[in-house]
Amino acid sequence: MPSVFGGRVRGERAAYGRAAPPALPPGVSLQLNAAKRKGEWLELKLPESLAGVPLNGLMQLLPIPPKVAGRLISVNGVQRQGKLLRLKLFPEERPEFEPEWMELNILYEDDFTLVVNKPAGMEVHPSVKDQRGTLAHKVAAYYDMTNQACRVRHIHRLDKDTTGPVLYAKNELAHYVFDAAMREKRIERIYAALAEGVIQADRGVIDAPIGQDRHHSTRRRVSETGETAVSRYEVVERFEDHTLVRMLLETGRTHQIRVHLAHLGHPIAGDGLYGGHRPYMQRQALHGEKLIWPHPWTGERMSVRAPLPDDFAAALHALREAGPPAKPRPGAKPR
């Protein structure tokens, strides 16, 4: 498993929706990246100038939301041993899903975070009682096989036939931070979608509320009384009768990209629920290409990319072979 603090980090610490902590004395810094996990505890070496600061004051200097900090203090989960501050951030937990083994494609992992590349045909978590075979059951098995006593906490979902990264929180701190980051739109999800027809505009914004389709229990539709839904798109490559687009979600409504593209008159290839056809794909051609999130402890910006699945790549190859596509813009091709 990678170390607690991997090298793929950059950016500034996020505020986690709380007031700015008290300023540290001049010349003093907390080396958050130097913290080390020891079993259930995270240990952080304190500078000499903070030796006399009470625990409540120290907690205000750390990137821990007040609710989580208060809970830690209430269960004796904060200890000072000389220059060491110890935080019980990793208590053992019982998984709530029965483990079902399957080899997973792990895109990123540390002690706070797990990112799994979800395959097509699998739900993220059970949608009905006693359902088995979901990604949650597979993640539970992975935790069990790697001796990690973690609950399975998914932060966002993908449709059953959509592929790409799914973010998991391994402890309460990460769960709280990720939930806040989702609300504050600091977790970015970028998708590749193969739409039917030729989209003329190079880029655009689809701002159309989405609600339940009263005539179909699993469908959604654009509706004036629906919830706000905003998607940004950028054309990557045009074919004779299809368009490869990159989509950035500003909201996370059920079936958002599928509904929005169908609303434009360009349903996703293979998406029979919203008017797509299947000469090239037997499922909706929608793939989570990139995921960006703040690290729960350092607040620094993390990101992963998920390669296109084989069936999506084969569809693009077939379209390119079928006729000369429009030339992609430099740097726009999904990786």
In the numeric block, the tokens 């179909």 are attached to 216
In the numeric block, the tokens 């992975």 are attached to 142
Q: What is d(CA 77, CA 219) in angstroms, rounded to the nearest whole number? A: 46
Q: What is d(CA 105, CA 311) in angstroms, rounded to the nearest whole number? A: 17
Q: What is d(CA 76, CA 325) in angstroms, rounded to the nearest whole number? A: 63
| DSSP 8-class letter at 8 | -
242-249 and 188-196 strand pairing:
antiparallel
Q: Per the residue annotation, which of 159, 161, 213, 311 is the catalytic one? A: 159
Q: What is d(CA 209, CA 207) in angstroms, rounded to the nearest whole number? A: 7
> Sign (positive/negative) of CA torsion 190, 208, 215, 212?
positive
Q: What is d(CA 36, CA 86) in angstroms, rounded to the nearest whole number? A: 10
Q: Where on the phi/psi map is residue 11: left (φ > 0), alpha (ψ -120 to 50), or beta?
A: left
Residue 324 token pair: 């000369």
Residue 160 near residue 286 (C-beta atoms within 8 A): no
- CA-closest candidate to residue 127, choices 158, 171, 172: 158
159 is catalytic: yes
Q: What is d(CA 109, CA 98) in angstroms, rounded to the nearest whole number? A: 21
Residue 169 near residue 238 (C-beta atoms within 8 A): no
Residues that are catalytic? 159
